[in-house]
């Protein structure tokens, strides 16, 4: 299950996985962000706040996750991974080879710093 919130004024999506990721999580997330992306051309950023990767509840959920990344990565400028898990450093290094977005790891609790990093490039 994923909790998410779109800050349309700043063009940032906040995502917080709470339990094993489900196929519908990505359908709902796409429904929430796609109209904003279509209206504005993209997102300034995505902030993922996570203590540990919860995994997927099925192969269908994993496939939906990969499809979501494939369909959206070129429309998101920056991705901040906020965690103390080793996942953060791995995500920063590994994902940068597969997605267009700039990725940066922040320690747990640094959501505000992540937001400021995303907004710094959004300003003229």
pLDDT tens sequence across 37-64: 999 999 999 999 988 888 899 999 999 9
The pLDDT, as a whole number, for residue 85 is 78
Kindly state the average pLDDT of the residues 92-117. Answer: 80
Query: Could you say which DSSP state residue 9 is in?
Result: T
Which residues make beta-bridge pairs with 121? none
Q: Which region among 36-40, 68-72, 78-82, 109-113 has the lowest average model confidence (pLDDT)?
A: 68-72
Q: What's the predicted TM-score (pTM) here?
A: 0.88
CA atoms within 13 A on the CB side of 35: 6
Task: Give the model's confidence band at 96: pLDDT under 50 very low, under 70 low, under 90 confident, else very high.
Answer: low
Query: What CATH number was assigned to the domain covering residues 2-122?
Result: 3.30.750
Q: What is the mean pLDDT of the chain?
A: 87
The pLDDT, as a whole number, for residue 97 is 46
Statement: residue 90 has pLDDT above 90: no
Please identify which residue in the block is written with the tokens 């995994």.
55
Statement: residue 98 has pLDDT above 70: no
Tokens of 93: 């290094």
d(CA 4, CA 36): 14
Domain ranges of the chain: 2-122
Q: Which region among 13-27, 50-64, 71-85, 87-101 has the lowest average model confidence (pLDDT)?
A: 87-101
Q: What is the CA radius of gyration of the chain?
A: 13
């Amino acid at each position: 299950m994923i909790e998410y919130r779109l800050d349309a004024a700043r063009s940032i999506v906040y995502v917080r996985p709470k339990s094993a990721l489900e196929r519908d999580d990505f359908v709902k997330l796409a429904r929430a962000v796609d109209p904003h992306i279509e209206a504005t051309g993209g997102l300034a950023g995505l902030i993922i706040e996570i203590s540990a990767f919860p995994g997927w509840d099925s192969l269908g959920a994993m496939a939906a996750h990969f499809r979501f990344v494939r369909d959206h990565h070129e429309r998101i400028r920056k991705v901040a991974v906020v965690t103390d898990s080793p996942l953060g450093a791995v995500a920063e290094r590994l994902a940068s080879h597969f997605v267009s977005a700039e990725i940066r790891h922040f320690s747990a609790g640094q959501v505000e710093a992540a937001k400021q990093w995303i907004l710094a490039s959004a300003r003229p």
